[in-house]
Amino acid sequence: MATIFEKIASGEIPGEILHRDSHCFVLRDVEPRAPVHLLIVPLEPIRGLSAAGEGDRWLLGHLLLVAKKMAEKFAPGGFRVVVNDGKSAGQSVPHLHVHLLAGRDFSWPPG
């Protein structure tokens, strides 16, 4: 069964795509946790970071470089990058994605 991200990528359901290349796309989170809350989603449906393998090394790096590119445009004052893996970590869609959060101060530790 296709995830919501796969349906957005295929055009089956709409999504405000801010960036798209041959490996990933970026959209705004529908339940933002910060004034800027973007999702960087690989087109390849990897279930989560724990499901990634050595062959995904380039793609994982690409996702972070796209996050940097989006931060330059949407978060010049600083940003946080988060990857949730598994239900107990807050992953709600079983498709790897990177959260880019910005526009407010963040505390440490998160959560």
Catalytic residues: 97
* Phi and psi at residue 55, to the nearest 5°: -70, -10
Torsion angle of the four alpha carbons 84, 86, 91, 94, in this order, in degrees rounded to the nearest 10:
110
Q: Name the DSSP class of 21.
A: -
